[in-house]
Amino acid sequence: MTRKTQINQLWISVFIILALSSSCKHDQELANTVSDPTGGSTASNNNNNGSGCSPDSIYFVQRVLPIFQSSCAMSGCHNTTSHKEGIILDSYSSILTTGGINTNNPAGSKVYRVMLNNGEDQMPPFPSAPVGSSQTSAILKWIQQGARDNSCIATGCDTANVKYSTHIKPIISNFCQGCHSGTSAGGGINLVTYDGVKAVALNSKLIGSISFMSGYSAMPKNGSKLSDCDIKKVNLWINAGAPNN
């Protein structure tokens, strides 16, 4: 074998190695990309279960999904069984596929627009109470951030100064208010006002339901059990007399 032939074979080997390396990297990038129904693609998933949770990020599992499950994916509306108008809003894949999510024009996303309506197309429909501004803002920001199927469970649980306004009310709004609002509130329990929340807090129904205790209806009805931290906060607030603080 001549020296020229050896050099040529060496360059061929180097080329093959570089090509394979590039291919593997490209495949990994594709694997980390979430499909976007608008024809583009969203950012990589960020399923972070630790202390690296970003306060500027809206996490689908903890923040967005509970809003859809409570306010939209109810029996007769947009759950897997009812799928009214072909829209299903009880899981990430179904929300992305049927909810008109548009990461190129977040404010134009159908599920966001109907929540802002006050007319016949309002969702959830009258007599249910409209979705709160903090919830719609969270959904919009989630879409703006790429509508990712992300999750983040922060370590630790700060219960030093639990208050109704800053801790309990957001939990009720995100997980409960969709079903328990308006003139047709589930079980006749309306949790839109402080007085309504206080009533079920002091008669043990609230803590019994969110703790999945025997003899109580497990809540949230369409979702998973609340985190231990959230349950602990609710329990501490109730034990303090359920103050309107």
Low-confidence spans in the chain with pLDDT less than 70: 1-52, 73-76, 79-84, 118-121, 126-128, 182-184, 222
* 37, 111 Cβ separation under 8 angstroms: no
What is the structure's pLDDT at 28?
36
How do residues 75-115 score in pLDDT, each as one tens digit? Answer: 657 766 656 677 888 889 999 999 999 999 999 999 999 88
How do residues 165-184 score in pLDDT, each as one tens digit? Answer: 999 998 988 888 777 876 66
What are the residue ranges spanned by the domains of the chain?
A: 47-152, 164-239
* Burial class of residue 147, CB neighbours in 10 A (0-12, 13-18, 19+): buried
What is the structure's pLDDT at 131?
81
